[in-house]
Amino acid sequence: MLKLLLSLYLAVFTSIVVINQVSEAIWSHWVHSAPDELRHAKAVANTLKASISSHNLPQESETLKVLDMDDVAWLPEQASTLMQGGILTSFDDEGSAWLTFKVPNSTSLLQLGPLAPAASAANKEWVIKLLSYAVLAFLLMLWIRPLWLDLLQLRYITENLTQGQLPNAARHSRFSAISNLTEQIRDLASQVARLIENQKLLVNAVSHDLRTPLARLKFALAMLPEQSREQANDMADDVVEMEAMIDEMLAYARLEFEVDKLEVTSLDLCALVDDQINKLSKLTDKQITLNKKSTQVIVPGNAHYLSRAIQNIVQNADKYGRSNIEISLECDKSSAYLHIEDDGDGIPKSQWESVFIPFSRLDESRSKDNGGYGLGLAIVRKIATWHRGSCHVGFSELGGAKFTLTLPRASS
């Protein structure tokens, strides 16, 4: 950061100094040194003054007048200039210039004019200003270009990384103030991409290779003699539990790779909720209450994954609730809110965020005995994030936990 600030300060300081020096040189040589009628007339007046005297006054003409010193009421400063032999410049109402000087050893005055006023330098001044600003912009562009190229590299790296691809090696500008940062981020992105690729390989390996010995173990247990049946049943239950846990872990791991294939359509959230309630009512004896203010709430999303998220929350309420589950759906102009409450023991406030962490368990009784592996709510949070929504937990008026799934509504 210090290198960036110093380089910017040096670039701006150098540009301003160069532009000021060049502008002054152009102004002095192009504007002040440019000949005009008044400057030329002063040179003629000096030559004329040196060549005449009181005995050989020139004849009056349209551009030359002969006056007496007392014919004009001169200001003290003007009279002093004339008496000292200087050339007095005065202007009439039309802006024309008159050059007046005193004939040596005489009270006569010669007046040259009228002379057109000098051309305004305002246009030239604006041209120089615009050129200065253009040069400043060009010099700053030279400083910004390497920085801009490195920023484009960072965007390219992040885009490839979000797609799980290893970014191709690209050259960075050694003149950029963030070249070191770009190189470090590129190395970090390469490491992350390799970790993602290794995770994919691990998931595939677990999915195929671990199931095979489990299947053989289940078959071996089924073939045990009858006298060992009780012990075999316990072992078979452990195998089934291992299979369920592996399925849950693989489902969570695959979520990282499925986001790129997510197909989003307009869905009726009410229909998804009704479908999950119908499924749960066939498997539980708890009373399920549904409160919804609208018969149709359209949200953009993927039907499969939103159904999975709602199912996980509803099953969680069924596991830890005692006798009642209350589901309510409400919405405003921009969002839909699905509240799922139970009358269980609830979740301490200090652990509200912990329940969404993968493999997090509040206690053993709330995990193994109920068949949980600490991944269901983590999957819900991830799916909600995919859909630009959120999932939070709080206290329910029923005495247990209250989960709120927030999703953006489809724009009408």
Tell me the domains of the chain and their CATH numbers: 55-118 (no CATH), 193-259 (1.10.287.130), 262-408 (3.30.565.10)
- pLDDT of res. 178: 67
- Give me the chain's average pLDDT, please: 78
Q: At what angle do helices 2-26 and 122-162 cross, to 10 degrees?
A: 160
Q: How far is CA 182 from the centre of its chain?
A: 17
The first and second tokens of residue 37, run together, are 């009628």
Are the beta carbons of 91 and 113 closer than 8 angstroms? no
Q: At what angle do helices 211-222 and 229-258 cross, to 10 degrees?
A: 160
The first and second tokens of residue 43, run together, are 């040179």
Q: At what angle do helices 376-386 and 229-258 cross, to 10 degrees?
A: 20
> What is Dmax (Cα atoms) for the chain?
156
What does the alpha-carbon distance between residue 374 and residue 186 come to, in Å, rounded to a whole number? 34
- 76-123 pLDDT per residue, tens: 888 888 888 888 888 777 767 888 888 888 888 888 878 766 555 567
Q: How far is CA 188 from the centre of its chain?
A: 21
- pTM for the full predicted model: 0.53
**Residue 227 has what DSSP assignment?**
G
- 248-306 pLDDT per residue, tens: 777 777 676 666 667 889 999 999 999 999 999 988 889 999 998 888 899 999 998 89
What does the alpha-carbon distance between residue 377 and residue 310 come to, in Å, rounded to a whole number? 10
What does the alpha-carbon distance between residue 108 and residue 85 come to, in Å, rounded to a whole number? 12
pLDDT for 196 beyond 90: no
- pLDDT of res. 73: 84
What does the alpha-carbon distance between residue 328 and residue 294 come to, in Å, rounded to a whole number? 11
Q: What is the mean pLDDT of residues 163-170?
A: 61
- 352-373 pLDDT per residue, tens: 988 888 877 665 444 445 556 6
